[in-house]
Structure 1
Amino acid sequence: MGGMGPAPKPEGRKARRNKDTVPQTVLRWERAEAPELPDFRIEKGDQLVEFYWPQRTREWWQKWIDSPQAEHFGSSDWEYLLDTAVIHARYWLGNLSLAGELRLRVAEFGATPSSRARLRMVFAEADDADQGRGSSGVPSARERYGNLRQIRGGKTDEGTSSP
């Protein structure tokens, strides 16, 4: 006996084919080591002065080096994060207008729970602690409803009569 509902559309008439319209580019992965915060000069008035890294930015930079995400950073990622460190430093030196740009940039690296969720990042220990059931610890649908059987016309899907 066939399934319930209308027959599926022929392959040529389906609206969704779930194929990527643009082919994926596969890159050779090379993990890169984190660079040190560099010494450099900036223009102040008509002079070049040494740029000062606030202690808060040095601590922030070390947190990124020690983060679980860092093992997945390539050289271009570290370069982007280094530019972000300059924004972080300027923010902590009082330029609060940079807060929005800083927030957007660190979100690209999974700095917050919501950005990690958007990037589909999970912590391995969390998965081990809940036996793979997800963060809530609730049993899966298969565990909850695995013993239920559909009843059709007075018979279960195994073909035996129902009470």
Structure 2
Amino acid sequence: MAGMGPAPKPAGKRARRNADTVPQTVLRWERAEAPELPEFRIERDGQLVEFVWPERTREWWQVWIVSPQSEHFGSSDWQVLLDTALVHARLWRGDLSAAAELRLRVAAFGATPADRARLRMVFAEADGLDGGRGSSGGPSARERFGAARLRSLPGGKSSAGDS
């Protein structure tokens, strides 16, 4: 039960402080614009041929450009994502062995809800759009039942002093 038991030790006397063993490096951040998917040639059967991006990879690239995460991408992030586009193109050309590598790479950028949760990413605008309601988006208990219908049950903490 919360509030029961001994008080916690002062911070200076705790056995485990879990301090960072390596100091943090603070970098100057500069936002970078997304590059276009490049045109280039590849060697096939001893000849140089124009590489054609799959349409699905072009669509995928545009999704990343307009994603909320992209507001925080620097130039090195876009370079890694550009390399990841090649992995995506391999997958959409039928090379299923590229799937695992693609999944690992896009996870680092917060591609899925689980990835964003692991990276501790949240959508800030969502907090203000729900009109002050709870996380379910529906009316609160106070709005549904009114303050007059809400009462505390016997045996709670507030009733201990009332007896």
Percent sequence identity over aligned pairs: 73
Deviations 1:38-88 (A, max 9, x none): 111222232222111011111111111111111100000000000000011
| CA RMSD in angstroms, aligned pairs only | 2.7
**AA at the equivalent of 1:42:** I
For 1:139-154, list aligned pairs within 5 A: 150=157
Residue segments in structure 2 that go unaligned for 5+ positions in a row: 141-151
Secondary structure of residue in 2 paired with 1:83: helix
Identify the residue that residue 21 of structure 1 maps to in structure 2. 21
* TM-score, normalisation: structure 1: 0.76
Confirm whether residue 125 of structure 1 aligns to residue 154 of structure 2: no
Deviations 1:125-163 (A, max 9, x none): 321133577633586xxxxxxx99746xx964xxxxx22
Per the alignment, do residues 134 and 84 of structure 1 end up closer, same or farther by CA in structure 2, a change over 3 Å counting? farther
* TM-score, normalisation: structure 2: 0.76
Between the two proteins, the alignment pairs up a number of residues equal to: 147
Secondary structure of residue in 1 paired with 2:81: helix
Residue segments in structure 1 that go unaligned for 5+ positions in a row: 140-146, 157-161
Larger helix share, 1 or 2? 2
Confirm whether residue 62 of structure 1 aligns to residue 32 of structure 2: no
Per the alignment, do residues 4 and 86 of structure 1 end up closer, same or farther by CA in structure 2, a change over 3 Å counting? closer
Per the alignment, do residues 70 and 132 of structure 1 end up closer, same or farther by CA in structure 2, a change over 3 Å counting? farther
